[in-house]
Amino acid sequence: MSFGRRGKFFEEFLNPRTANGIGDFLTMGLIPDIPGVYRDDLLEHFGRKSQNPEVQAVILSHAHADHANYISFLHKDIPIYCGQTCKYILDAVDEETQRTIENEVLKYKKRPCFKKNYKDPPIQRTFNTFRTGDKIKIDSIEIEPIHVDHSVPGAYGFIIHTSNGTVVYTGDLRLHGTHSDMTKDFIKNAVQEKPIAMITEGTRIDSGQTGESENKVYDKSKGYLEDNKYLSIVDFNFKDVDRFTTFYNISKDLGKKFVISFKHACFLERYHKDPKIKSPDSRDENILILKLKRLTGTYCDEDYTDEYIKRRLNYSNIITPEELSKNPSDYIIVLNFWYFNQLIDLKPKGGVYIHSLSEPFNEEMEMSYERMINWIQFFNMDFVQSHCSGHINGADLKSLLETIKPKELFPIHTEKPKLFSKLNLKTHIVKEGKPYKI
């Protein structure tokens, strides 16, 4: 799913139509027109013939939306392979989000959905999960997933053994994060294979060495939160366990309670059951769950109709904004911009807001950003930017590529593929729709 390409034609209130099956996505070039991969129901809805799948498997590197969401369109008989932790995250997303045509990764409802088949159970996709060390055999190809460090756990690069030699794919990765050893394992394995081709991410190929780290995010954020006598609000992506850990630890170190949302609880409970991630449960003694006003505004159980909230209403660590506003300095609250109207109930009289996400990189984000600043100024809060990227910087990526030294290089996931040509490697500027023979 390319956010950039989608954003070229669509926005919040102008979306691809569900009523045209897969048609709007194909016509506007949001997905490539590949035979034998898409769902029968969506093709038929668009007036095309359904096709038997011609693809044996799809390998998913990690659970970010740009990589995972358009699994929604795939034929039900194509199995998906992903890491065990990646699957846990997809489960959490599935629990806390409303079904849309672009968000039917684990299961989907046959479309068009008429009243008479509205209650039919959804069709489940086949997910096969792996861990580092496993080998996946698909037809004549053998794939070795190797863990890499990224801003979401359960991220993998792949070493793909073919009869003509080895191909490696980086997935999304970085070398400046908390678990850089995992990326180094990937590099070590890739070097040994002397790959004939390498497919690489390149989101930040235009940057030099950045000096960023998760530790710096901790130090900077803690500094601001430590001295704050009023309300503390932070925002970060809950798929990022390292960032969760950073703010959870700051809360503990400062003797404050960490307040999360019911949506966050869906993720935290999955992380907690994963032995590879040492995360607390959503009912941990240092964690509270924020209950927001719905429907009648009286916080009665009947006001909450979303299943993921209903099944957690009996937790004993639930708190309301009114209760938080009595002793604001006792808490660090995770609050996303889309929930800023809650500030009206939280009533901050000053305090700190830490934006632990990337800075805006397009017009739409700039507009939201401006609005966010307006809210923060209105409540006399200080704004702090404190973040480190999920992606490898240009300098690290160049040395990674020069270390692995593939015979041929295919940069993808980049807006500046031409910058790769400056390296001493045979580089292909990948053209959409063109097959490459190795």
- Of 321, 356, 359, which Cα lies nearest the Cα of 336? 356
Stretches 156-164, 166-174, 259-267, 317-325: which one binds Zn ion (CB under 5 A)? Answer: 166-174
Residue at token pair 């073919």: 162
Question: According to CB under 5 A, which residues from 295 to 334 bind Zn ion?
Answer: none
**Least gap, CB of 287 to Zn ion (angstroms):** 26
Tokens coding 241: 């366990």
In the window 49-88, what residues touch Zn ion (CB under 5 A)? Answer: 64, 66
CA distance linking residue 228 with residue 199, whole number of Å: 46
72, burial (CB in 10 Å: exposed 0-12, middle 13-18, buried 19+): buried
Distance CA 412, CA 240 (A): 23
* Cβ proximity of 290 and 260 under 8 Å: yes
Q: Is 144 in the site for Zn ion (CB under 5 A)?
A: no
- First vs last C-alpha separation in the chain: 26
Stretch that binds Zn ion, among 45-53, 161-169, 171-179, 270-278 (CB under 5 A): 171-179
Q: Which is nearer to Zn ion, 267 or 379 (CB)?
A: 267
CB of 33 to Zn ion, least distance (A): 22
Q: Which tokens hold the place of 234?
A: 């932070």
Identify which of residues 101 and 392 has a Cβ nearer to Zn ion in the complex: 392
Minimum distance from CB of 82 to Zn ion (Å)?
13
Nearer to Zn ion (CB atom), residue 173 or residue 309: 173
64 versus 355: smaller Cβ distance to Zn ion: 64
Nearest to 125 by CA among 66, 53, 62: 53
Query: Candidates 36-44, 165-173, 334-342, 421-429 — which segment interacts with Zn ion by CB under 5 A?
Result: 165-173
Which tokens in the block code for residue 261? 């949302």
Task: Tell me whether residue 203 or residue 427 sits nearer to Zn ion (CB atom).
Answer: 203
d(CA 245, CA 232): 17
List CB contacts of 8: < 8 A, sequence separation 6 or more.
none
Beta carbon of residue 389, minimum distance to Zn ion (angstroms, whole number): 10
Q: Which is nearer to Zn ion, 414 or 427 (CB)?
A: 414
214 scored as a contact of Zn ion (CB under 5 A): no
* Residue choice 172, 214, 235, 240 for contact with Zn ion (CB under 5 A): 172
Residues in touch with Zn ion (CB under 5 A): 64, 66, 172
